[in-house]
């Protein structure tokens, strides 16, 4: 130990300690969807975050903020993220569900980058359907309230005459 420093080789100098994720990328099979690149500057990630959180909750059965933040950070790291690397990184968390999750996520991102505003058209359609159903439900509730009020007035009028 000369000068108070350890001598030897570091990870980059020793071929035994190669990049494990690169090895896994070379060995694994990936969805053909990953061949299409995603330009994150065209994607409104804020609109997709609830979908990511919901998918993670569905796959794991619990809410996992750490995994959610990890996914979002990997998407924000680069303007053109690598789906294969993300899938390999998620394999430790999602295990055999990582390919399914990444294929769905990548499809959503591809749809988002092609749509105006960076929001997937399917999200917009689903939201419009949700709002329409909510409005119909509110109209039914208002009709029930009006009918109930009418019956009460009639009942009060009948009791007032008696």
Which whole number is the average pLDDT over 86-96?
A: 90
Give the pLDDT of residue 17: 52
Q: Which tokens in the block code for residue 71? A: 């996914």
Report the distance separating Cα 15 and Cα 18, nearest Å.
Answer: 6
Q: What stretches of 28-117 show up as alpha helix (H) in DSSP?
A: 45-60, 65-77, 83-94, 98-114
Q: Which tokens in the block code for residue 132? A: 């329409």
CA 92 to chain centre: 18
59 in Cβ contact with 120 (< 8 Å): no
Which whole number is the average pLDDT over 86-100?
A: 91
pLDDT single digits (tens) 22-61: 656 656 677 788 899 999 999 999 999 999 999 999 999 9
Report the distance separating Cα 132 and Cα 38, nearest Å.
Answer: 32
Give the pLDDT of residue 43: 93
Report the distance separating Cα 35 and Cα 39, nearest Å.
Answer: 13
User: Which of 97, 58, 88, 43 lies closest to 70 in space, CA to CA?
Assistant: 88
């Amino acid at each position: 130990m000369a000068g108070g420093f350890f001598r030897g080789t570091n990870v980059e100098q020793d071929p035994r300690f190669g990049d494990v994720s690169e090895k896994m990328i070379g060995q694994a099979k990936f969805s053909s969807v990953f061949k299409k690149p995603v330009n994150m500057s065209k994607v409104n990630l804020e609109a997709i975050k609830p979908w990511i959180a919901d998918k993670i909750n569905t796959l794991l059965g619990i809410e996992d903020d750490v995994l959610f933040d990890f996914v979002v950070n990997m998407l924000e790291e680069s303007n053109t993220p690598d789906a294969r690397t993300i899938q390999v990184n998620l394999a430790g968390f999602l295990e055999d569900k990582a390919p399914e999750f990444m294929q769905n996520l990548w499809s959503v991102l591809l749809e988002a980058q092609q749509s105006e505003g960076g929001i997937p058209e399917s999200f917009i359609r689903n939201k419009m359907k949700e709002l329409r159903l909510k409005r119909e439900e509110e109209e039914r509730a208002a009709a029930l309230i009006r009918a109930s009020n009418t019956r009460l007035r009639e009942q009060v009028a009948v009791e007032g005459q008696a």
